[in-house]
Structure 1
């Protein structure tokens, strides 16, 4: 289960948060991923207390990376010299977390840094460390990356807000065989591929981008809307279901489903011969 941009603080919608918690407990996912922006303003301790209490209401295990809103803005000293102090105090001591199951590796990278307000990047050191992590898994492992910032602009979105060294990051994913990238940041959901922006890539990586899940700050075509994703993985396919909150239904409902063949299944994951009706 993939949620993003919760924004505890003035934009936080507690009614949506309760619905999300109910969905999460009904689903009981193997992993709950939160791709950043837990709070609206990292300078305010109360917002961290709110989100910490809320995350405790959600099922685990959880993998959480910081977003740019999780880095102080008003306190310049903290922003430059200890940008993750509140995150590590209230959420997790690890800003580049790793989660493993047999056949699955989910690896987080912190793209939020104190010297930028909105933008993000992965440092050379981070890229080298991520490459080392991804390469230690055997063939057939489903490798998933989690960042806050996105790497290509979704159709119709405001251009120019992607991670500053997006090409380096996309190349990293391609050469390491990363099958899925989960991200957020711009409050617009999008399911696609890094091939959409980089057709020169050898294989590409599926992009699973969530809009804002529990805040009032949806943007563009999702203004006033909220979303999250459910990802199901087996030996042959990756299935992503986009969930959108609909007011007339009073709940999150599935609005789209995307099915991709696993790399380990070959170029195409064909059905078993017994499932094919060859009658004329």
Structure 2
């Protein structure tokens, strides 16, 4: 069993969108031909602006499939208070995806997406109780001997290099969810900083460590911290023994994304 996931995030189609980087991403994504392209939220900067959503939808069609996408906080209406409170993801579901809990299932692999975006905050996120029940159900149906992967927009632990962006309000519930279902890999974005690590040391008591792939912003000029001015995606290779994550960063001189490091983790069997 071997699968390749390409993890991109925080496209922010807007005046911050770097077209040169975005065009190269399309070329390299088609060269890689991943088994699944994962996009962990923030497709636009302002979900109230129809033009941004239409442009994001058009851009997604240029990228290879299959795709698994989840919404981020920027994909929630900001200026329209009525929609923000009562239909926060109406425009996301119209233009990007009608599904808030996508599932990609293959022999030996189950990838489940969740929604942490809501209308009661500007930057933060939360896994509400109905979401947790939905994710519980989806993960309980996963291949018992396979690799389980969870995708959210918001992070659940603060990466060492970026502690200023709020993680989801009920991060402990998300960690318990991953422990209950032996989730081996967690994909997220939000901070605009690339990070690879594990949940080890972030939760008390007995637990199962989960590998973290936190992608920086892939196509916008909004990189933060040590990723300021940078764009990245993560390539995830999963086989029977190992999960390897390779962050790629765009290099202007080479005009392409190039691997920056490689992180190998033993599978949890």
Report TM bin, short chain.
Answer: over 0.9
1:64 and 2:76 aligned: no
- Bigger relative contact order, structure 1 or 2 (CA pairs below 8 A, ≥6 apart): 2
Aligned with 1:33 (options 26, 38, 43): 38
3-state SS in 1 of match to 2:155: coil
| Moved beyond 6 Å, runs of 4+ | none
| Contact map agreement 1:5 1:211 (CA 8 A) in 2 | yes
Distance 2:243 2:161 in 1: 25
Aligned with 2:53 (options 43, 48, 51): 48
Could you give the per-residue CA deviations for residues 218-267 of structure 1, whole angstroms, max 9, x where no partner exists?
00110010100001111111111100112232211000111111112xxx
1:184 and 2:189 aligned: yes
| Contact map agreement 1:187 1:219 (CA 8 A) in 2 | yes
Uncovered stretches (5+) of structure 2, i.e. residues with no partner? 1-5
| Contact map agreement 1:171 1:201 (CA 8 A) in 2 | no
Displacement of 1:173 after TM fit? 0.1
Displacement of 1:160 after TM fit? 5.8
| Contact map agreement 1:182 1:207 (CA 8 A) in 2 | yes
Aligned with 1:94 (options 99, 106, 110): 99
RMSD between aligned alpha carbons?
A: 1.1
Partner of 1:251: 256
1:214 and 2:219 aligned: yes
Displacement of 1:92 after TM fit? 1.2
Aligned residues: 264
Distance 1:34 1:203 in 2: 25
Displacement of 1:41 after TM fit? 0.4
| Contact map agreement 2:109 2:143 (CA 8 A) in 1 | no
Displacement of 1:199 after TM fit? 5.3
| Contact map agreement 2:7 2:215 (CA 8 A) in 1 | yes
Displacement of 1:139 after TM fit? 2.4
When Rg is computed on C-alpha atoms for both structures, the one with the higher figure is 1
Larger displacement relative to structure 2 (196-205 or 80-89): 196-205
| Contact map agreement 1:187 1:211 (CA 8 A) in 2 | yes
1:106 and 2:111 aligned: yes
Distance 1:42 1:196 in 2: 36
1:262 and 2:267 aligned: yes
Classify 1:256/1:200 alpha carbon distance in 2 versus 1 (closer, same or farther; 3 Å). Answer: farther
| Contact map agreement 1:63 1:98 (CA 8 A) in 2 | yes
Partner of 1:154: 159
Could you give the per-residue CA deviations for residues 129-157 of structure 1, whole angstroms, max 9, x where no partner exists?
21122122242111000000000111121
Distance 2:17 2:151 in 1: 23
Distance 1:200 1:213 in 2: 35
Aligned with 1:140 (options 138, 145, 155): 145
Distance 1:168 1:201 in 2: 15
Displacement of 1:196 after TM fit? 3.6
Partner of 1:269: none
